[in-house]
Amino acid sequence: MAHPVVRVHPVTGRKALFVNAIYTTRFDGMTEAESRPLLEFLYAHAIRPEFTCRLRWATHDLAIWDNRCAMHYAVNDYDGARRLMHRTTIKGERPISAPGKDS
């Protein structure tokens, strides 16, 4: 299924990258090989420190984020510690393209 590379948050109207190294394979109209350099650039851009939030987990912590404008970049930094996690996903709307862009 095709999705926009830049999506618009339906509440705030702010733009956000909507690519991810696991699910995004190529751009429409381009091969995977043609898409790879630009996608690698976007993946690296999205995880720059100034765009990230790093939690220092403590007992009973709770984290909530809006998947419409945030990417989860898991880091296994709890080696040897027990961790109980419950994940809930709320059904959302289909991504909206930025004005003037094809979806």
Q: How far is CA 94 from the centre of its chain?
A: 15
Pairwise CA distance, residues 97 & 95, whole Å: 7
pTM: 0.69
Question: HSE (CB half, 13 Å, CA atoms) of 2?
Answer: 9
In sequence order, what are the residues at sequence separation of 6 or more whose Cβ sits closer than 8 angstroms to the Cβ of residue 61? 55
DSSP notation for 72-92: -------TT------------
Q: Tell me: the pLDDT tens digits for 10-67?
A: 889 999 888 888 889 999 999 999 999 999 999 998 888 898 888 888 888 888 888 8
What is the domain partition of the chain in residue ranges? 1-92
